[in-house]
């Protein structure tokens, strides 16, 4: 199932909410690398020693949490 949150990362400039979301430092680092460097899930997985599916889950979790703050700012 494809996430509707991934496209929102760029559309809503969700990286600006990185400091507000409640994620581990490693997960924030992964999300930031995904947004800034545009690697594949597999490339990030190899870099961090986790599966590409786990990378996808982390990115979606970041996008969901950041989108919440985006909605609060744009009522």
Going from N- to C-terminal start, the domains of the chain cover 8-73
How far, in Å, CA of 70 to CA of 39, rounded? 24
CB under 8 Å to 34, separation ≥6 — which residues? 44, 55, 59
- Span 9-41, pLDDT tens digits: 999 999 999 999 999 999 999 999 999 999 999
Full-model pTM: 0.92
pLDDT at 1: 57
Architecture of domain 8-73: Orthogonal Bundle (1.10)
Higher-pLDDT residue of 65, 3: 65
């Amino acid at each position: 199932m494809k996430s509707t949150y991934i496209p929102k990362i760029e559309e809503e400039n969700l990286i600006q909410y990185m400091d507000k979301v409640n994620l581990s430092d490693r997960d924030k680092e992964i999300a930031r690398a995904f947004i800034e460097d545009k690697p594949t899930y597999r490339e990030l997985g190899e870099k961090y020693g986790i599966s590409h599916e786990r990378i996808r889950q982390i990115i979606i979790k970041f996008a969901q949490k950041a989108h919440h703050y985006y909605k609060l700012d744009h009522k």
